[in-house]
Amino acid sequence: MLANETEWPAMVAGRRSCGKFRIIIGMMTANVTRGTAGCWWRTYWSQVAIGVLALGPLVVLQACRPVTPAVAPLRFDPSETIREVPVAEKAVALTFDDGPNEPFTSQILEALEEVGAKATFFLIGTNVVYDPESARRIVKAGHTVGIHSFDHPHLNTLSAEAVAREVHMGFDAIYAGTGVRPALFRAPYGKIGPGLADVCREMNCLIIGWSAHGNDWTESMTSEEIAEQIMAKVYPGAILLLHDGNETIHGGNRKQTAGAVRIIGQRLKEQGYRMVTVPELLAMYRPTQFANGVQIRGVTWMPVSVRAGETVNLRYYLHYPAGFLPETTAVFVHFKARRGRPAFQDDFVLKPGMLVRKSTVRVPKDVPAGQYDISVGLYPVGRIIFRDRIPVACTALKTDGNAVILSPPLEVRAATP
Ligand SMILES: [Zn+2]
């Protein structure tokens, strides 16, 4: 069960992926599979189905080959706060901070069960010590638990020693209370303190932030308002923050949040989203690698549905091989209707140190409504895009010649009159 996975690096090594098959699509070569650790993924039957349907002849099903931690780089640096995970499929992670806190933790567990969601609870150590039974209920229901410090201080006001103590004591409280060794940390108030990255790296703990919150600590918020605030910020790979507790106050009222979980769960299901734990979301992540060694480790965009004339925010997660000269290569990002020419684009030249590129694209006002595929590829600077594209060496995504096609497509609605 991934939910209670104890050792993050072991999970990175693909222990869970060894189900039945691993799917490798496209022009993967023996060199690439052997020479780089970036070319491995875990997959789900849905992707197998999509891959088979879309790319029959190019699909190679391989018996699962576990990747050992020694050659698999961490896909996420423990010192960087993960606020979202670039994934292709419709999945989000609901997260709850400040518990355990009864009776609200149990109310939220019930709501999660009703909507068929698995979530991640970031527990405060002192609250676990106070009510370990509640913490065990979370674990027993198949959810993931992470550390949310011991005492909920502003870590940025503490010394490195005190920060380390908060992480260690939070870990110890959860381990003693539940038997789970947490591998995720979320900073109270999102404030990163001195030495936090070091202590998290030592403990193989990833720092998890959030891409959106429900403002559910504001007492006047109704369940409907919390749900609306969350649903406005949903996109594949989003990490959504709610609360089952109120810092270290025992019994802090979170009734509205429990109600919001029912609404959010229902709406997400209607939109085809799965609600997964943070480790499950991280495990869905798959990099795409090009023949020159450049990896596009993921792209996120939001919103996924937009009116013509409005903007889309994109983030590209990039990785260069050793010795690579970024300025020699450009990325093309084309938005095109099925069988159509690119209607608009977001091309850019790679730069040294550019590991995350953020951009905003305005959808032209005169673009017809419809589904727009987002295709992403590389070409050498100064060359003709279509003739000289750099081949995709390996990817788990759909490809179109030498570009990968992200899914879901961007939905463009008619411009407001
Ligand atoms: Zn908190």
Rounded distance from Cα 151 to ligand 1 centre (Å): 10
Active site residue 366: no
Q: How far apart are the C-alpha atoms of 144 and 96, rounded to whole Å?
A: 10
Task: Give residue 174's pLDDT band: very low, low, confident or very high (50, 70, 90).
Answer: very high
The answer to whether residue 334 scores a pLDDT higher than 50 is yes
What is the distance in A from the centroid of ligand 1 to the CA of 217? Answer: 10
Q: What is the per-residue pLDDT for 79?
A: 63
How many residues would you count in the chain? Answer: 417
Active-site residue identified among 143, 243, 244, 346:
243
| Residues surrounding ion ligand 1 at CB below 5 Å | 97-98, 188
Q: How far is CA 35 from the centre of its chain?
A: 26
Q: Could you tell me which residues are beta bridge partners of residue 313?
A: 302, 360
Helix, strand, coil distribution of the chain in percent, nearest 5: 30, 30, 40
Cα–ligand 1 centroid distance for 110 (angstroms) = 21
Which pLDDT score, from 0 to 100, does residue 339 have?
75
- Residue 166 CB-half CA count within 13 A: 29
Q: Does domain 288-413 have CATH number 2.60.40.1930?
A: yes
| Centre of ligand 1 from the C-alpha of residue 245, in Å | 8
Closest CA to 359 of 408, 301, 287: 301
Listed in sequence order, the residues at least 6 apart from 247 whose beta carbon sits closer than 8 Å to its beta carbon are 98, 124, 152, 188
By mean pLDDT, which of 25-29, 115-119, 176-180, 296-300 is the weakest?
A: 25-29
Closest CA to 257 of 290, 226, 288, 218: 226
Q: In CATH terms, is domain 91-280 a member of 3.90.1640.10?
A: no
Decide: helix, strand or coil at residue 380.
Answer: strand
With a cut of 70, say whether residue 191 has pLDDT above it.
Answer: yes
User: Is 98 noted as a catalytic residue in this protein?
Assistant: no
Distance (angstroms) between ligand 1 centre and the Cα of 262 equals 22
Model confidence at 156: pLDDT above 70: yes
Q: Please list the residue range(s) of the chain that carry CATH number 2.60.40.1930.
A: 288-413
Question: Across all residues in the chain, what is the average pLDDT?
Answer: 81
> Separation of 264 CA from ligand 1 center, angstroms?
21
User: Which comes out higher in pLDDT, residue 93 or 408?
Assistant: 93
CA distances from 70 to 36, 80, 248, 285, 289 (A): 12, 21, 40, 19, 20
- pLDDT at position 166: 98
CA 326 to chain CA mean position, Å = 26
Q: What are phi and psi of 213, to 5 degrees?
A: -130, 165
CA distance 346 to 344: 7
Q: Choose, from 97, 216, 244, 373, the residue flagged as catalytic.
A: 97
